[in-house]
Amino acid sequence: MSLDKRMSTWHMGRLWVTEWVSPKEAHMHGLEEIIYEGRTKYQHVLIARTFAFGKTLFLDGYVQSTELDEAIYHEALVHPAMLTHPSPRKVAIIGGGEGATLREVLKHRSVERVVMVDIDSELIELCKKFLPEWSKGAFDDPRVELIFSDGRRFIEETGEKFDVIILDLTDPAEGTPGIKLYTKEFYEAVYNALSEDGVAVTQATSIRYYLFAFTAIRNTLSKVFPKVRPYKIFIPAFLCEWGFMLASKSRDPLELSEEEIRERIRDLDLIFYDEEAHRFLFWIPKFVRKKMDEIDLVSTDSNPLIIY
């Protein structure tokens, strides 16, 4: 093969985002096109088209969601909690700037009102402009109230009661405000902001990279909620299985009948979530359960969980 052929193949792949999983491991995403790069008041934002995942949102250098697989993440985050509540009318979303969590929530006919609270109004503007496929018009739905504010303060100060609260947050990384959205004190405020059969769900980091954090979130929620269920799903762009934690005041997601799930999602036009997926999401492999049993970390305001 001639030299020229080899070089021209590589011609377009020279701009890369390198995600440092740790100082010892990294993933290189070849970029086809940069759509936006800049900084909001809160974070660095890169919107680019990667060769592997299509349009991709990077926050502070890490993949947040991608055209190829955002539906897996957002369906997994939203629907188990929405179905664990018998008939959610009022929903609060903390975070979720892309608008895809909102999109999934609004698919449920029972929903009358969604309050979405995100601190970063600039990010939301960027997502509306450059990632309209994520929100698919959700921001314009009359049931939605959008509040630009600190999520923790909102939850603590709102007098309103919600049926479902969805915590679509960045990880509790060192030096970021997200840290205070994973503590026992915050979860107590979440509990208080929920209605009688209320259900909360939070993203819960990577079970490959941060199993200690995933487990700490479970432990911490268990101090506050009677029923806590860890679950996970493989997200291609995250290169690992991603964790979630569902916390419920009364109903247990593991006791939902296949019939109820099938019935309630019938018209929702979902890509990945169905009654089978529901069951499988909650399976945690034996060796993971075993390692989780050895971690007793609980996150509190005075001694919070932090990911480095």
Q: Is 168 a catalytic residue?
A: yes
Nearer Cβ to its own copies, position 226 or 271? Answer: 271
Q: How far is the CB of 1 from its own copies (least distance, A)?
A: 5
Q: CA 246, CA 203: separation in Å to the nearest integer?
A: 9
CA angle 162, 160, 137 (to 5 degrees): 60
Nearer Cβ to its own copies, position 146 or 268? Answer: 268
Nearer Cβ to its own copies, position 24 or 302? Answer: 24
Q: Which residues are within 8 A (CB) of 21 and not within 5 positions of it... i.e. 6 or more apart?
A: 27, 209, 239
Q: How far is the CB of 212 from its own copies (least distance, A)?
A: 12
3-state DSSP assignment of residue 163? strand
For residues 31 and 19, the answer to whether their CB atoms sit within 8 Å is: no
Nearer Cβ to its own copies, position 29 or 218? Answer: 29
Find the catalytic residue in 69, 120, 168, 171: 168
Q: Which residue from 101, 92, 114 is spatially nearest to 71, judged by alpha carbons? A: 101
Q: How far is the CB of 221 from its own copies (least distance, A)?
A: 23
Nearer Cβ to its own copies, position 13 or 226? Answer: 13
99: left (phi over 0), alpha (psi -120 to 50) or beta: left
> Phi and psi (nearest 5°) for 47?
-115, 115
Q: CA 50, CA 66: separation in Å to the nearest integer?
A: 9
Q: CA 149, CA 7: separation in Å to the nearest integer?
A: 50
End-to-end CA distance of the chain: 45
3-state DSSP assignment of residue 118? strand
Q: Which residue from 71, 274, 88 is spatially nearest to 166, judged by alpha carbons? A: 88
Q: How far is the CB of 4 from its own copies (least distance, A)?
A: 4
Q: How far is the CB of 53 from its own copies (least distance, A)?
A: 9
Nearer Cβ to its own copies, position 142 or 175? Answer: 175
Chain mean position to CA 151: 15
Residues that bind its own copies (CB under 8 A): 1-30, 32-34, 37, 44, 46, 50-52, 60-61, 71-72, 174-175, 208, 234, 236, 239-241, 270-274, 276-277, 280, 283, 285-287, 306, 308
157 burial class (0-12, 13-18, 19+ CB within 10 angstroms)?
exposed
Q: How far is the CB of 48 from its own copies (least distance, A)?
A: 9
Q: How far is the CB of 224 from its own copies (least distance, A)?
A: 27
Nearer Cβ to its own copies, position 40 or 195? Answer: 40
3-state DSSP assignment of residue 282? coil
Q: Residue 179 forms beta bridges with which residues?
A: none
Q: Looking at the annotation, which residues are catalytic? A: 168
